[in-house]
Amino acid sequence: MSGSLQLTGLTRVHAAGAPPALDDLTLAVPAGSCVAVLGPSGSGKSTVLRLTAGLDTPTRGSVHLDGRDLAGVVPERRGMAMVFQRPLLFPHLSVRDNVGFADRVRGLPRRQARERAEHHLELVQLGGFGSRPARALSGGQAQRVALARALAAEPRVLLLDEPFSALDTGLRQEMHELLADLRLRLAPTVLLVTHDPAEADALADTVAVLAAGRLQQLGPMRELYARPRSLAVSRLLGGRTEVPGTVTGGRHRSALGELELPAPAPEGPGVLVVRPEAVTLVAAADADARGTVVQVRRRGLRALVTVEVAGRGTEPAAVAAELSPGEEVAVGAEVGLRIPVTARCVVPPAGLADAREGASAHDRQR
């Protein structure tokens, strides 16, 4: 059932003269894997799905499914199914006939389509809901039915366009578990679009970060968290610490002092980014830098603190640190910061970012 999807140089310009909604995206979705396209709204991530599904035509580039070029192939013959942000159940049909729609369209007798629909409803834990009218469902149930309807079409690729973002947190969690379970059972090829890093982390094997229509970085979520390639990626993934400075001889100089880097970085200006989870508060003697707590925010059992480090002749730097559960510190306290070498990552400053990101995105694609 699952196919392997390859997008190559995919570009879409909506109106002549306008900047491309999607610019030269190359992305592979191996059979049975789940790839997430992560980006803020307007980053072109939904365009990726529309071009893949054949609902829009790419300005340049190609979509291959199992090695076959899909140019000119109409959406209904692509062997894909999509779940949108809204369930979009057909309101004039029962739940069962919604799920059986694809089977009916491909000519299966009504009774057989309904039997298969019941099976797929059970897959999404909605057995027995078949005879209800589509309008009589709650938001979460309707989205489950939409998922069952897409699965019943036995697509070679399942496209998910922010399918859970309209649901409240608890329901979203349930849907994540359901999808993970379905992946184990059916191993579908999934291309998922989301703006939520946690969702990408929970569901996808590989994540492609998209901003302003361009691929910023591609890799497993762990790698994106630990080694963002740009400020844009770091910010999108919830990075808070950005310390401007200069790289010389494998060391980063800034208000935090001179810090050794785990990997070679390009010489010249560079911004140090560190995940708040990696930073710990320590006694002054063991510290990489010392500063004052200027803000404390609660995050359940943990606290997220911002520590300001005054630089010598440079601007002060703000470092975010997530404390361990139960650990408390007051605003105004003088603290020492430990930033493990492996957690240090230098990205190009904002002005230089675009040029370098473009180049690196190209490099990856070659």
Asked if 358 is part of the footprint of another protein (rule: CB under 8 A), the reply reads no
Q: Give how far Cα 3 sits from Cα of 68, 156, 252, 312, Å.
A: 11, 5, 45, 58
CB of 139 to another protein, least distance (A): 16
Footprint of another protein on 48-67 (CB under 8 A): 53, 55
Residue 13: other Cβ atoms inside 10 A: 16
| Among positions 92, 222, 299, 362, the unique one binding another protein when judged by CB under 8 A | 92
CA neighbor of 188 nearest in space, from 213, 159, 218: 159
Which C-beta is closer to another protein: that of 78 or that of 214?
Answer: 78
Pattern 160-199, binding to another protein, x per CB under 8 A?
Answer: ----------------------------------------
CB of 86 to another protein, least distance (A): 7
| Among positions 91, 300, 325, 351, the unique one binding another protein when judged by CB under 8 A | 91
Residue 196: other Cβ atoms inside 10 A: 15
Using the contact rule CB under 8 A, the part of the chain among 5-13, 83-91, 246-254, 286-294 near another protein is 83-91
| Among positions 22, 27, 37, 82, the unique one binding another protein when judged by CB under 8 A | 82
Which C-beta is closer to another protein: that of 76 or that of 260?
Answer: 76
| Among positions 42, 57, 68, 76, the unique one binding another protein when judged by CB under 8 A | 76
Cα–Cα distance measured from residue 120 to residue 29, given in angstroms and rounded to the nearest whole number: 24
Asked if 133 is part of the footprint of another protein (rule: CB under 8 A), the reply reads yes
Contacts with 52 (C-beta within 8 Å, 6 or more apart), sequence order: 5, 7, 63, 80, 157, 159, 191
Asked if 88 is part of the footprint of another protein (rule: CB under 8 A), the reply reads yes
Cα–Cα distance measured from residue 221 to residue 204, given in angstroms and rounded to the nearest whole number: 8
Burial 36-53 (b: 16+ CB within 10 A, else e): bbbbeeebbbbbbbbbbb
Pairing label, strands 317-322, 68-69: unpaired
Asked if 74 is part of the footprint of another protein (rule: CB under 8 A), the reply reads yes
Using the contact rule CB under 8 A, the part of the chain among 85-93, 181-189, 257-265, 286-294 near another protein is 85-93
Diameter of the chain by CA atoms? 79
Residues that bind another protein (CB under 8 A): 53, 55, 74-78, 80-82, 84, 86, 88, 90-92, 101-102, 104-106, 133, 149-150, 153, 159
